[in-house]
Every structure is written in C-alpha cells, then in structure tokens.
Structure 1
C-alpha cells in the first residue's frame, strides 16, 4: 500500500511542475490548471502495482473490479448513489442566503451537462480504479471499514491541494473542499459496500461531484459555497458513520466483488 501512495505522489510531481509553469486562464471546466490531468495516475499506478504483485492476471482482476456493477437485489441503492450529490449541493446552496451570500456567479451552462458528464466520467473512472479498485482493500484491512474510508479520503484531499492552489482557489475554499472530499469518500465507501462493492457506484458519485460543482453558480470563486458544501456533506457522513458503526460490520473488508 505504501508503494502505491509513494509512486502516486512521485509521478504527480511533473504534473504539479507543469501546472506551475503553464499558468493562466485554464481551458478546462472551473478554470482547472494543467496539473488536473494527473487524474490518469491512480489507474496507472494501480495497474503497475497489480502487475508487480500478480502479473497480467492482477491487472485483469483490477479491471473486473472497476467495471463491477451492483448485484441483483442491491440495485435499489442506485437511487441514493444518483441523488446524494445533487441533494447535498442543493441543501448547501439553500444555506448560503442565510449567510448573506448571493446565489450568482459564473458557471457552466446546463446545456453542457452531457459533455461534462462524459469528460468527468473518464476522469472519475481513472481515479476510482486506484482509490476504490486498488487502495481501499489494504487500507480497510489495517484501519477497518470506516477508518480506511477516512484515511483514503484524507489522501484524496491532500493529493488535490496543489491543483486547487494552482487554480487560484482561496484558502477558505480549499478547506471547505477538502472537508467535503473526506466526507464524500466516507459516503462513497458506505454505498460501495451496500452495492456489493461495485466500483462503478463510486465512479458515478465522483462524476456527479464534478458536474454539480461546475454548474453551480460561482462555486469555484466563493469560499462560502465550498464551506457550506463541506459542512453539509460532513454532517451527512457523520450521521451515516454513527449508524454504520452501531450496526454489524458490512461484510469483510478483504472480500472482493
């Protein structure tokens, strides 16, 4: 597991350097910097580590896990999978007027949603191949199901901080975004287990996070929006974690679909 994270951060360095060199208005959604193309690395590193451990069979097993779907009888969980992000985003934006924050600002048009979904789905698939398809299992062996989710969420958040800074995000925005990142990973892992460890559920949630933030008015420019989203998702994840830990553990963290 240590090898995965060390290699991931080491290979991210050229992307971060490129993001520092090629600064300026980005052509990517939400003004993301060049370093955002690091999204390919979790899949690349997971493939390398799987090949080192089990040869080509390991890579094939990784791909099977990535494209696994909820088993029959568990597909009703697609409802919270699809509604989780839109619901929390709407609730967080409903709180902004209470703080005197206007609901306006630049954003991607709703007509662009199909294109955004397609682009973000590719990025999410690459990331989740590493996060959920490879890294989660050993983390849960060491820290437990919930602990592994929190650790993975923290790593996920830290890995994005350089890109956030290069994208010109304010410190308050980065703090709120990192809070929501950790909280959403807990929720993603919870739903992952509820759907029979279907990695595609995490891919869908990850995609919807990026789409929702792209079309939400002023989200990249308003720290208050990111903080509100972070607080709402953190409250949701805390509630789920309390209920989760009070019940019988969901399966064995070592099992694979």
Structure 2
C-alpha cells in the first residue's frame, strides 16, 4: 500500500534550501571577492562562516516549525541514548576504511603510494592532533550534518526511497560546494573545476551522501557526523588528491553504499494499513 505523505513531513524543505544556499554562497562570494587565500585574514572569516550554511538553515526551519507547532517529520531519527548509538563507532571505522582501502587499491594500480607524511605535516601546521581533530570535526561534520541529514534528508524521505533521497541530496550537496573552486587556498581550487580531480571530487560527494544517509537512519545525526568526519579526516591524513586515488575512493564508496542500502529493507512504504501517516511517531528505523 502506498501512502501519500502529509505536507507537514516535507514542510520547510524549500526554506532550508533557500537559507542554506543564500547564506553559504553569499559568504563564499565575499571570500572570492576579497581574493586572498582561504585561511588568511580577512578572507578566512567569510570562508569559515560560509560552511555553516546548512546548520543555519536547519535552525531556521526548526524555529519556524516550533512556532507553527508542526510535528516532527515522520522519518526523523531522534537522538536518544539507546542501542542505536552503538552503530556510531563501526560506521566511523567503515567510513575511514573505504578511503584507506581505496588508497591501497590505487597504489596497486600504479597510483601514489600510501603515506602519512603529508598528513603529519598538516597536523603540525594546525598545532597538533587535538586542534586537527577539532577542526576536522567542526569544519564539515558539525557545520553541515544537522542540515543535510538532520533536516533535509527526513523531508526528502517523505516521498522518496533511501536511494532516491541520498542521490538527490548528494547532487545538491555537490552543487553547494562549487564556489570553493574559486577561493584560493582551498583543496577544490587546487584541483580546479575543469579537471579530472575537480570532477572526481564533485562526483565523490554523491556516494558519501548515500553513506551518511544510511548512517543517519541507523543512529541519527551523530552517526552521519561520524561518517562525514571519518571520510574527511582519512582523506586529509592520506592526502588523497591524485585522480587515480580519487577514482578508487569513488568506486569503493559506491560499492559499499550499494551493499549497505541493499542489505536493509526500505520501510518507506511498509507501514501497516491502519497506520496514521500524519503521526510524527511513525519512523523508518524501528
């Protein structure tokens, strides 16, 4: 039985897109106009603040929902201290393992040898392991996941399968990154938009979105943050920037994402006949 999702489940999605893109792109365009390297003053201010567009969009949507007393979308995964949280560490390890396995595969295929040399230099540059971990956690996972997975994803799931929602969000997420190719000092600017590395970076966002979406349905935003953090940190430590290694990461993550999605039944249209689709207590992760 196919149940038409209530409007309230998708309410706020257009607002989220608008606030997220307007906030991020406005700030990143300011950074582009300033012209300096991303981490130099004054460019660093709009550059860093722009990354928080998704979480700002999430806050705006939640404030409006609270004022209108709208129910939580049916596919929202609540943050609770439960057995679900035991998924966080395995998903973190799996996310990192996809990058490491791809780097090893690229090495076998004639690409760059796996090395932590550049990663160690990066850690030293930012002041040590603790500042490195904090910067990798805030700059990306915490700044984005409450928006992409915590806000947009459950609203997309109101009318889409896991695969469809993940693919669409991945494409949107990839487009959101585009201004970074024009800010000097970013890894995207180093790649160049019209290059194999730039293309592979853009494409790699899509399987990453599928993995983060799977993690979200397993253990909520915390798990999505873990996957995002695991991938970003391992990529940084291994200095994944050659096309061969990027292509390997893309291939490995596509395979892993497909296996994970296929291994778990999609409950979107699996509600009981007498279930009330308007109830925010109906979730996909029972």
User: What is the CA-CA distance between 1:163 and the residue it aligns to?
Assistant: 1.0
Residue of structure 1 equivalent to 2:249: 229
Larger radius of gyration: 2
Summarize deviations over 1:105-136 as a string: whole Å, max 9, x none. Answer: 73354563432221222232231111122111
- Choose from 83, 108, 116 the match for 2:132: 116
Query: Are residues 1:193 and 2:217 paired?
Result: yes
Q: Residues 7-156 of structure 1: matches in 2 within 5 Å?
A: 7-27=19-39, 35-55=47-67, 68-69=79-80, 71-72=82-83, 74-103=84-113, 106-109=118-121, 112-123=128-139, 124-156=141-173
Cα displacement (A) at 1:222: 2.1
Partner in structure 1 of residue 178 of structure 2:
161
Whole-Å separation in 2 of the counterparts to 1:21 and 1:67: 41
- Aligned mates of 1:202, 1:248 — CA distance in 2: 18
Shift of 1:24: 4.6
Question: What are structure 1's unaligned runs of at least 5 residues?
Answer: none
Distance 1:213 1:113, change over 3 A: farther
Report SS of the residue matched to 1:142.
coil
Q: Secondary structure at the match of 1:100?
A: coil
Alpha-carbon distance between aligned partners in 2 of 1:53 and 1:82, rounded to the nearest angstrom: 31
- Structure 2 SS opposite 1:101: coil
Secondary structure at 2:51 match in 1: helix
- Tell me the number of residue pairs that the alignment of Structure 1 and Structure 2 aligns: 243
Superposed, which structure 2 residues align to 1:207-246 within 5 Å?
Answer: 207-217=229-239, 219=240, 221-244=241-264
Q: Relative to structure 2, which stretch is displaced further, 85-94 or 106-115?
A: 106-115
How many angstroms apart in 1 are the aligned matches of 2:196 and 2:49?
Answer: 24
- The unaligned stretches of length 5 or more in structure 2 are 1-12, 272-276
CA distance in 1 between counterparts of 2:223 and 2:18 reads: 27
Query: Is the alpha carbon distance of 1:249 and 1:79 closer, same or farther for their aligned partners in structure 2, counting shifts above 3 Å?
Result: same
Q: CA RMSD of the aligned region, Å?
A: 3.2
TM-score by length of 1: 0.79
What TM-score do the two structures reach when normalised by structure 2? 0.72
Structure 2 equivalent of residue 4 of structure 1: 16
Write 1 or 2 for the structure with the bigger share of helix: 1
Q: Structure 1 residues 69, 150: CA separation in 2 closer, same or farther (over 3 Å shift)?
A: farther
8 Å contact from structure 1 (residues 66, 200) kept in 2:
no
The change in CA–CA distance for 1:204 and 1:16 in structure 2 (over 3 A counts) is: same
Shift of 1:184: 1.8
- Distance in 1 (alpha carbons) for counterparts of 2:45 and 2:177: 11
